[in-house]
Each structure stands twice: as C-alpha cells, then as structure tokens.
Structure 1
C-alpha cells in the first residue's frame, strides 16, 4: 500500500476531511505548536482537515479558518470566507480575532507542472501568510507555512527568521514521497523595539527577582545586570526574546 493510500484511507476511517490532517499532527508533535487555550488561524483552510486537528488539540481554545471556498461547519471552529490578497479579508480577520498564538498555512498554488513557476507561486503564498502573521500574531506566537523547495527558499527563510527567535524546516512523514513540499516553522515571534547589539540609555524603574535592574523601552522589558532602581544607564542589548530582553551596562 502506498503512502498516499495509507493516509487517505486512514483519514476516511478516522473522519478527517483530508489526508493533510496527519501533516499537522506530525508538525505539532515535532515543533510543539498547539497548546490548550490557543487561538489558531488556518489560512487556505478548505476542506478543513487542519481545522479539525487544531480544534482537537486546542481544547478550549479558538480556531478560525480562512478560505475563498466555503468550509462545511466544524464544531468549535469559526470561518471567514474571503481572498487573503484582499485588504477587506485581512481587516475582517484582524478585527474578529485580535491576536493569535499560531498562524498556519497549507496553501498551495494551482500546479502547472513547471517546477520553477510552481515554486515561485508557493513562495508568494507563503509570503502572504507571513504578512497576515505580522498583523495578528502575538509576541511569542508561531507561524507554519508550506512551500515547495527551490531557489527562493533561502530568502523566504531569512525573512521569516528576521521576525522569529528561530526557524526550522520540517517535512512530515505524511507528505507524499514524490512531493517537494516542506514546511517552514517560525518559533517565537519577535516584536521587540530593540535588536542584539543596540546601544541606548535607559532608566531603571524596578528590580527583578534575580536582582537585575528593570527598564522599559516602549513597554518592552529589559533586564539590566549591575543596575539599580533610579539609575539612568547606558546599555548594550545582549539577547532579545519575544517579551523581554537582556542588556549589559556599558557606562
């Protein structure tokens, strides 16, 4: 029995709308994507296999699917019907959801059989998903996008890495053997107003549990070693996390 038959038949038996449901299960098991209570957005969600898995794994969370096609009702899942290339669809999604913990995209172009063209179109769709993530993804949130391997992959990966703590490449076992598809997983969205190596002056307004000084830069928390409350010090940014960073005083 081929891999295609195995997952197709398994999906039918277990009530999933598509064999791709197992890809999301495997991605989640590998990259630790979905937690109880999460808000998850699935882009290009029809017919709904990923929505089913997300709804199962978020427990009391929130799952929203977006697609130009109609998605048959799934318990515990909201849907937005629209084209992600249109501003109105993105605005409706942002207004309805607010902030999300995870943005998923299993979108793929209509295949032409021309490898370079199909690859380029898949990268375009992945960049659309990245744009949505920039709008709705909370600090520390994750992004998953499907893309076909090819010459533009490195640039796409670098652009995602600029906005996340790190990026990893995952190829689920449920992907067809002959397919060039893979998934880029951006972990820990960075929304910090500072970057590693930046130098700036900050006011220490509090003291952390470990004795480090605490400063705020546009509501972003910096832990400054060797600084005390009430001081204004010159610092260099040493490490940046989604919700806080670490700095060394240099004055």
Structure 2
C-alpha cells in the first residue's frame, strides 16, 4: 500500500493527526484507561493523535494536557491544553502541575520514541531512558489510584524498568496493540493503580491501633496512610505489610514485636 497502511488511511479519513491514535484506542479498550471526567497528560504529544483520542474519551468534564518539544497545532474541535517544553526541566513541570491542578492526573501517557539509529541495542537503551523520564514525571503528577502507559522497545533493560514501575502500582501489564507495526519491537507498559503508600510489601513497622474497622479489624496509620491490622484499639505492635493498595493496605502482626498500651 505504498508504505501507507490501513491505520494511516483510516486516520486520514477519521480526522486523527497520526495513525498512533488507534494504539491508544486499542490500549483503552483492552485496559480501561480513559473515563469521562478524567484528567489526562500526554508526554511527547506531537502531532496530537493521542490528545484527540483522550479528549473524546474524557468528554467536556475532563481535562487533557499535552507537552512536547515541538509545537502542537491548536485543536479547533477539542478543548486541549498544550505546552511546548522539555518535560525534564523544572519550568515545564511547573506549568504541567498548574495545568493538572491539585487533584493530580488520572492518566499519564507517553508514546515517545528516540530518534532511531538503526543500532538495536542503542535504540532500545534510549527508549528505556525516555520511558524512565516519563515515569518520573508520572510519579510527580499522578493522583492516588491513577494509571500510567508508556511505550518502550523490547530488550534487556525492559524487565528491570517494568519491575521499577510495578513497585509503584497495583499491577502492570505488557500490551502490544494491533495498530503497532508488525516489524516493530515496541510494547506498552500499562500500570494501573498508582500507590502513594509510605510503606511497601514486606516492610516491618511499629504502629498503634487507633480505630476499629467495620469488620472488627484494627486501623493504624503510617504518615496518614491507613493500615488494617488484626488487633485491639490502643495496642502498639510491630507488623509486616502484606498488601499495599492506593489508599490503604494490610499488615500482619510480627510475633514478639510491640507492646500493649497501659489499660
């Protein structure tokens, strides 16, 4: 098809600025990324195909912000805010934070790819570097429970990067949308449920049970983060964190740790 595949032709017919718009559509269909009213940030957004898809999904009650080193032409049919700048610079991040607002972003997305050299290992390493920059930005912008999607080329550095992302989310999936070209080594990591917990699974901490939960279990707090623990109100004990979710976690008492408070 003279190098112009079906997704390219479809994008022209349906008014999307890039064939990559269908990748985000497919990622959304498979992983439920975008909801009405969401705040979405697209990193490396030019020419704007992902911004168009995001704006359609979040509707009038949502917010869509795109940033890129290149100028992004304005959208006449969608309310989309665009910033021109380097997302690794504090000045750009400041404007991003202002655009997102105090509530934080529900989704941070990145379809960035490096300038290709043709040397596979180098291109892979550069893609992981870009993905890590996007991850750093996502951690700064995401609200608790938010989602992150990022493109990265397959290679030896992919698994360590995925592990780092997984440590901050409830779970991570690796997805290859049908719109990716057959010859491409790209995959997308879709991380769901950003966790702002001050503790991680396996951590041992001393807590005091301050309240009783609806199910009769104890509630303790670590830097404002809720932990459900089997114990009585007023009891101080050492616990091991067993499960971490965006807004609360679970922990089990460690034998021999802590002490009962005075009656």
Q: CA deviation at 1:18?
A: 0.7
- Counterpart residue number, 2:82: 79
Distance, in Å, in 1 between the alignment partners of 2:124 and 2:15 is 31
Q: CA deviation at 1:246?
A: 0.7
Distance, in Å, in 1 between the alignment partners of 2:219 and 2:79 is 41
Map 1:194-233 → 2, pairs under 5 A = 194-225=199-230, 227-233=231-237
- Counterpart residue number, 1:188: 193
Distance, in Å, in 1 between the alignment partners of 2:13 and 2:108 is 28
Indicate whether 1:26 and 2:30 are aligned: no
Indicate whether 1:17 and 2:26 are aligned: no
User: RMSD over aligned Cα, in angstroms?
Assistant: 1.7
Q: CA deviation at 1:146?
A: 0.7
The number of aligned residues is 250
Q: TM-score w.r.t. structure 1 length?
A: 0.94
Gaps of at least 5 residues in structure 2 are 258-263
Q: CA deviation at 1:58?
A: 1.1
- Counterpart residue number, 2:66: 65
Indicate whether 1:145 and 2:150 are aligned: yes
Distance, in Å, in 1 between the alignment partners of 2:204 and 2:125 is 39
Distance, in Å, in 2 between the alignment partners of 1:232 and 1:197 is 19
For the 8 Å contact 1:147–1:181, the answer to whether it is kept is yes
Indicate whether 1:155 and 2:156 are aligned: no
Q: Give the match's secondary structure for 2:148.
A: strand
Gaps of at least 5 residues in structure 1 are none
The C-alpha deviation readout for 1:158-207, integer Å capped at 9, x for no partner, is: 21112212221101000111111111111111221112222222222222
For the 8 Å contact 1:236–1:249, the answer to whether it is kept is yes
